Amino acid sequence: MLIEGKNAVREHLSAGGTLSRLYVQKGLHGAEELVEKARAAGARVVFCERRELDKLCGADKHRGIAGVADEYAYCEVRDIVKSARDKGEKLFMLILDGIEDPHNLGSIIRAAECAGVHGIVIPGRRAVGVNATVIKVSSGAAAHMKIARVTNVNDVIRMLKEEFVTVLCADMAGQDVYKTDLTGDLALVIGSEGFGVKSLTAKLCDAAVSLPQKGKINSLNASVACGVLCYEVLRQRR
């Protein structure tokens, strides 16, 4: 898997990730520390011309740095729950119901990591996985976020409810999120860009929450809405 850009590579290494190769543009300033870290992690460092990096990554996508790593290592849902318990914190998990745009997934991971989300669940089919674009858009946050890829998100919801985790979905017809208690163990379901949360999935949730809107359009981008909701959870828990 290709990791593009200095920040994404740095965060990948900082999180304990490994690289088989690190490509560095010849003459690039400020890359010495990253080169040392990559070598210490077992990477072979290759100094090359910009045109070679452009061919590998696409023009202007790499900013002079690119790394090659193993495929993203997904975790289990139980690992996410355990991470919250180990920290002595109330669980905060995201369940993404069919996000297909890698830019949206990357932005969601970035916002979630900043807001203290313990982990993210994504479906294995009809949804984007963690790829090079997702990692780059997340600005390295993917390296620090536990992400589980599952066969059926509805089974995850059922399991969480059996463990007394409140499961809420984001829906325009839901109750005002600013009037909803978000301080307990919580899983928040975010729907796909075009269709929202699937009807069966929404029925399994304990309730739906919405963001109040005053504009003329009827919805926010999935990653923007998710970011706002995540920070309302953080606000209430502080």
The CATH 3.30.1330.30 domain(s) of the chain lie at 2-68
Residues 6+ apart with CB under 8 A from 159: 77
CB atoms within 10 A of CB 179: 8
> How far, in Å, CA of 89 to CA of 67, rounded?
34
State the pLDDT at residue 158: 97
One digit per residue, the tens of pLDDT, for the chain of length 238 reads 888 888 888 888 887 778 889 999 998 888 888 999 889 888 999 999 888 888 888 776 778 888 888 788 899 999 999 999 999 999 999 999 989 999 999 999 999 999 999 999 999 988 999 988 898 888 888 889 999 999 999 999 999 999 999 999 999 889 999 999 999 999 999 998 778 899 999 999 999 999 998 877 767 788 999 999 999 999 999 9
Helix axes 6-14, 32-40, angle to 10 degrees: 40
Query: Which architecture does CATH list for 77-237?
Result: 3-Layer(aba) Sandwich (3.40)
pTM of the model: 0.82
The ranges of the chain annotated as CATH 3.40.1280.10 are: 77-237
CATH T-level topology, domain 2-68: 60s Ribosomal Protein L30; Chain: A; (3.30.1330)
